[in-house]
């Protein structure tokens, strides 16, 4: 398995959302980032799948640690994601706070723990944080 995720937008419930290539917001606003875990070794683009990757539903009780990775090593955010829908274990939510000091293009490093099984993955460049505009 190659663990990754798909960014989701306009999430209302497990049946109502859209896939997105990235989530974009302004620094200082904070954001709830919804995503679906996938096994990117399955259902690939070269096999005709769009979007690529097979939904991955981890075991009950799994935890997912996320590192929001930017080019500035001093401005990384590490946090646990939550499962917003009890009946859909593949969908997770990461909350970024207005005080999180990150900007620019960010990637997600994933650490999924299912009992004793630990799986690492990533999603490159899926977050875009625009700097605050300077008001003169």
d(CA 70, CA 84): 26
Residue with the two structure tokens 């096994």: 39
DSSP state of 3: E
Confidence of residue 133 (pLDDT cuts 50, 70, 90): low
Mean pLDDT (whole number) for 2-25? 96
Q: Are 114 and 58 in contact (CB under 8 A)?
A: yes
- Summarize pLDDT for 63-99 with one digit per residue, the tens: 999 999 987 777 899 999 999 999 999 999 999 999 9
Lowest mean pLDDT among 20-24, 53-57, 85-89, 127-131: 127-131
pLDDT value at residue 134: 56
User: For the whole model, what pTM was predicted?
Assistant: 0.91
- Summarize pLDDT for 115-128 with one digit per residue, the tens: 999 999 999 999 99
Higher per-residue pLDDT: 130 or 55: 55
pLDDT value at residue 64: 98
Mean pLDDT (whole number) for 44-52? 91
Rounded to the nearest integer, the mean pLDDT of the chain is: 93
Residue with the two structure tokens 């723990």: 113
**Burial status of residue 134 (CB atoms within 10 A of its CB: 0-12, 13-18, 19 or more):** exposed
Sign for the CA dihedral angle at 3, 93, 96, 118 comes to: negative
- As separate numbers, helices (DSSP H) first and strands (DSSP E) second, the chain gives 0, 10
Residues in Cβ contact with 15 at an 8 Å cutoff, skipping those fewer than 6 apart: none
């Amino acid at each position: 398995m190659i663990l990754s995720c798909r960014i989701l937008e306009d999430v209302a419930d497990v049946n109502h959302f859209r896939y997105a290539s990235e989530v974009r917001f302004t620094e200082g606003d904070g954001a709830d980032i919804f995503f679906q875990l996938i096994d990117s070794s399955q259902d690939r683009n070269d096999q005709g799948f769009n979007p690529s990757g097979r939904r991955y539903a981890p075991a009950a009780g799994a935890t997912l640690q996320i590192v929001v990775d930017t080019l500035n090593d001093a401005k990384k955010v590490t946090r646990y994601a939550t499962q917003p829908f009890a009946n859909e274990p593949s969908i997770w939510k990461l909350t970024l706070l207005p005080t999180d000091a990150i900007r620019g293009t960010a990637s997600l490093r994933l650490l999924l723990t299912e009992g004793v099984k630990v799986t690492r993955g990533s999603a490159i460049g899926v977050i875009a944080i625009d700097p605050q505009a300077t008001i003169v």
